[in-house]
Each structure stands twice: as structure tokens, then as C-alpha cells.
Amino acid sequence: MRNLLALVLTVGVTSPAFAASGPFLSLGNTNFVVLLSFLLFIGILLLVKVPSLLGGQLDKRADGIQEELNEARALREEAQTILASYERKQQEVQVQADAIVAAAREEAALAAEQAKADLAESIERRLAAAQDQIASAEASAVKEVRDQAITVAVAVADKVISAQMTAASANKLIDAAISDVDTKLH
């Protein structure tokens, strides 16, 4: 405050007041009137305590800025805590994902082994079925050949017997067959 008053007086004394014409302490001198008005204005400002009001407002503003800085620090610390938490969770999720991938690979390998085993078993069953079909077809072919051979043999025997057989020998054979059937049935 004293510095301000000294500054005002210094400016007032060294100002163009000395350049004005006529006596300085006269109300006719405009420089003197301006100086008095300025000093009166400064006095009113000091009387109303404007510097202390300005200082109080500046202090309030400084306190508000300090509170905002403290709040910003707290928010930054909270954000860092949350970031660390998310990074930790991300690492946990990554570990879980790696475990899931490893388990899936193991399951895929087991499934591939099982599929190979199932395929081998299926091939064995199909081979066995094919061999059974071949054996069945072979047996069927052998039976057909036998049946055909029997049919041919019976036809040849019929021709040979009918050519060599007489009515008397046919009657003997019929009687022998009837007696044979009679003994087997009773």
C-alpha cells in the first residue's frame, strides 16, 4: 500500500505538471486538478478497501484452483488405480483365454485321435462285411453249381434209367420204395 502511494506521488511530481504554465498549486492548472482527482480516486479505493477485496477474491480464486488441482490429483490417482485394475483383469482374461485355447487344442487332438480310431474301426467293419458278402456269394455260387450239377445228373440219370429200365424192374423198385417208406414211418 505504501509502495502504491509512493508510486503515485512520484508519477505526480515528475509528470508534466512542471510543463504547465502558471503556478502548480492553483485550481487553474489542469495538471494539478487531474493530480488531485487521481489522488482522491486512489483514496476512495483505499477507503472502500478495494485492494483487500481484490486480494480476498484472488485468494478465493487461488483456493478454488488449489481445490481443483487436488481433485484432479485424486481423479488421476483413481484413474491409475482403475487402469491397474483393468490391466490386471486383462492379464487374467488373457491367461484364461490361453487356457481355453490350450484346452481346445487338447480336445481337438483327442477328437482327431478318436476320429482316427473310429475310422479304422469302421474300415475294419466294412472289410469284414465285404468279406462276409464275398463268402456268402461264394457259397451261393457253389450251391448254384451243385444244384445245377444235381439237376444235370438227375436228367442224365433219368435218361439212362429210362433207357435201361423195363416195366418189371420199375415195379420192383416201386415196391421196394413203398416198403422202405413203410418201415421208416412205423
* Residue 161 placed within a domain: yes
* Residue 125 placed within a domain: no
* Residue 66 placed within a domain: no
Is the Cβ–Cβ distance between 31 and 24 less than 8 Å? yes
- Is a pLDDT exceeding 50 seen at residue 17? no
* Residue 48 placed within a domain: no
Amino acid 47 reads: L
Q: What is the four-CA torsion angle of 97, 100, 101, 103, rounded to 10 degrees?
A: 160
Is the Cβ–Cβ distance between 18 and 24 less than 8 Å? yes
- Is a pLDDT exceeding 80 seen at residue 55? yes
DSSP letter for 18, please.
G
What domain range includes position 168? Answer: 147-185
* Residue 103 placed within a domain: no
* Residue 156 placed within a domain: yes
* Residue 141 placed within a domain: no
Residues 153-169 pLDDT 10s: 888 877 877 777 777 77
Euclidean distance between CA atoms 168 and 13, whole angstroms? 185
- As a whole-number percent, the residues of the chain with pLDDT over 90 amount to 48
Euclidean distance between CA atoms 53 and 60, whole angstroms? 10
Is the Cβ–Cβ distance between 48 and 34 less than 8 Å? no
Number of neighbours of residue 32 by Cβ within 10 angstroms: 18
Residue 94: the pLDDT is 96
Is the Cβ–Cβ distance between 40 and 33 less than 8 Å? no
Is the Cβ–Cβ distance between 20 and 30 less than 8 Å? yes
How long, in residues, is the chain?
Answer: 186
Is the Cβ–Cβ distance between 12 and 35 less than 8 Å? yes
CA distances for 181 relative to 25, 48, 113, 175, angstroms: 180, 157, 67, 10
How many domains, the chain? 1
Is the Cβ–Cβ distance between 17 and 32 less than 8 Å? yes
Residue 167: the pLDDT is 74
- Is a pLDDT exceeding 60 seen at residue 85? yes
* Residue 16 placed within a domain: no
What pTM value is reported for the model?
0.38
